[in-house]
Amino acid sequence: MDFSATYTEAELVQGLRARDQKIFSYLYDHYSPALYGVIVKVLNNDSTGGDVLQDVYLKIWRYADRYDETKGRLFTWMLNIARNTAIDILRSKSHKLEQKIQNITDDVNAGSGPLTVYQSTDYLGFSKILEKLTKEQRTLIDLAYYKGCTQEEISRVLDIPLGTVKTRMRNAIIQLRNILNK
Amino acid sequence: MDAQYFISSGLIELYAAGMASEQEVQELEAAMRQFPEVAAAVETYRRNMEEYVSLQRLTPEAAVKTSLFNQINNEPDLQDSLQKTDQQMQQPKLVSMTETKSLSWKWIAAASAALLIGSLILNYVFFNRYKEFKEYKDKYQSLLLSQNSILSKENLYKTRLEQMQQSLDVIQDPDVMKVKMPGTKAFPEAMATVFWNQSSKQVYVKVNKLPEPAADKQYQLWAIVDGKPVSMGVFEMGDTAQLLQKMQITGAAQMFAVTLEKKGGAAAPTMEQMYVAGKVPG
């Protein structure tokens, strides 16, 4: 995906640090759907998602100086803020692990939850990827990435040995890479 | 440990999925700085994850962006303060908060004082009005009372006048015969008069002078018909005694007399208590 159609990465970073509202607006327009997708997936609802998204962008605006380009791209940094903010909220709501799993499993089983309604342009592409990942592979990735589960937690809730979690997770990620790099 | 160790360890995949432990993250980040190929492998997986995430993107409501930019524009100090240290960043915000606080406190105090003064003035005004009102109310009530008493007196006079008129009418009737009853030997000071209408046979009595009887006694008028006393009824004393009092009817009588009897009257006159008596003239 080409996120800098009109600006280079360096221009975006510089603009954000200068608190250039035009650049910030661009960052919002281009990245907010991805960040919002993460937030909604983590919290498993989109009723509070808008507020969380606003909070995430405020953090990006306020803490722009903390971004370190040597550690990764700007999008990676923004995505991490979105993911960490949402996971913090998930944990502060004292969601039980089982609940988290239930949500993920529901997602997987339902195949087309209420969220898919909003997934317009990329839904077809996304479903093609889903077809090539097993349900278990998707569950593993989602539990780790969206719910912030540790290997131990995944081992416990899916009732598979810790070593097996690692192996299967690795295979899932490799499978994802193979699909996407085709 | 070489680059290949990290690449084949599976750590990079766990790291990309966000599942690496704190210690593993530190290890890997150190390796990334050390080996460009590790960093490149991490970046590849990271991009894969980001792509996976981006494929699940959702468009947020437009209102979020509006709200976000409103909030950003309401943080005027932010741009300057962010150039400084975090410590300094906090200060202008704190200062402005205290200013707002003290300002609002002052404003509230001023508003409270104004309200208090307003309330006191209104209290004074309304209390005065209440006092005036109370005065008027008292005056009104006393006026009402005196009017009532005037009315009742007027009624009394009216009644009295009517009674006098009636008495006068009785006396002025040409058919009325006047029988004067002077005091007996026992009560020489006493005096009463009977007015007897010859056509209607109606008998009236007028007290000229009789002592007030005890509460359980009443005067009784008698007509002596053919030597026998016939009761004409009892009559009132007090104010009523000033008027002509309507008694019974009698067709014939030679004499009238008044005795003092028990209240309500007696069947036969008590001769010892005869106060006045008079013969019918003719």
B105-157 pLDDT per residue, tens: 788 888 899 999 999 999 999 888 888 888 888 888 888 888 888 888 888 88
Chain A residue numbers with beta carbons less than 8 Å from the beta carbon of B67 are: 54
User: Are B105 and B41 found together in one domain?
Assistant: no
Same domain (yes/no): B183, B214: yes
Q: Which residues does chain A have within 8 Å of residue B82's beta carbon, measured at their own beta carbons?
A: 19, 62, 64-65
**Both B152 and B191 in a single domain?**
no
Residue A30 touches chain B, beta carbons under 8 Å: no
Contacts of A32 in chain B (CB under 8 A): 59-60, 64-65
Residue B214 lies in a domain: yes
B80 belongs to a structural domain: no
Question: Of the residues B140, B172, B204, which one is the last residue of a structural domain?
Answer: B172
**Are B48 and A173 a contacting pair at CB < 8 A?**
yes
Instruction: Verify that B207 and B153 share a domain, yes or no.
Output: no
Query: CB of A166 within 8 Å of any CB in chain B?
Result: yes
Q: Which of B209, B206, B210, B234 is nearest to B220 (CA)?
A: B234
Q: Which of B49, B51, B58 is the closest to A33 by Cβ?
A: B58
B236 and B193: one domain? yes
Domain A1-95 identical in fold to domain A96-182 = no
Cβ contacts from A onto B, under 8 A = 134
Domain of residue B49, residue span: 3-58
| Cα–Cα distance for residue pair B130/B243, rounded to 1 Å | 52
* Residue closest to A130 by CA, chosen among A61, A73, A176, A62: A176
Residues B140 and B215 in one domain: no
Residue B169: partners with Cβ closer than 8 Å, 6 or more residues away? none
CA distance B94 to B71: 18
pLDDT of B193 higher than 90 = yes
Three-state DSSP state, B275: strand
**B200 and B219 share a domain?**
yes
Q: Do B58 and A150 touch (CB under 8 A)?
A: no
Q: Choose one of B172, B199, B230: the last residue of a domain.
A: B172
Q: CB distance B19–A169 less than 8 Å?
A: yes
Interchain CB distance below 8 Å, B21 and A151: yes
Q: Do A144 and B19 touch (CB under 8 A)?
A: yes
- B19/A contact by beta carbon, under 8 A: yes
Q: Distance (Å) from the C-alpha of residue B64 to the closest C-alpha of chain A?
A: 6
Chain B, window 42-61: residues with a beta carbon less than 8 angstroms from a chain A beta carbon: 43-46, 48-61
Domain ranges of chain A: 1-95, 96-182
pLDDT digits (tens, 9 = 90+) for A130-177: 778 888 888 888 898 888 888 888 898 889 998 899 889 888 988 888
Predicted confidence (pLDDT) at residue A122 exceeds the cutoff of 60: no
Contact between A36 and B51 using a beta-carbon 8 Å cutoff: no
- CATH code linked to domain A1-95: 1.10.1740.10
For B32-60, the pLDDT digits (tens) are 889 989 988 888 888 888 888 888 888 99
pLDDT in tens, A54-99: 999 999 999 999 999 888 899 999 999 999 999 888 888 755 555 5
pTM above 0.80, yes or no: no
- Domain boundary among the residues B172, B196, B213 is at B172
A173/B50 CB distance under 8 A: no
Q: Domain spanning A96-182 has what CATH number? A: 1.10.10.10
Look at B46 and A76 and tell me if their CB atoms are within 8 Å: yes
User: How many structural domains compose chain B?
Assistant: 3
Calpha distance B99→B153 (Å, rounded) = 79
For residues B269 and B242, the answer to whether their CB atoms sit within 8 Å is: no
Task: Fill in the amino acid letter for A34.
Answer: A
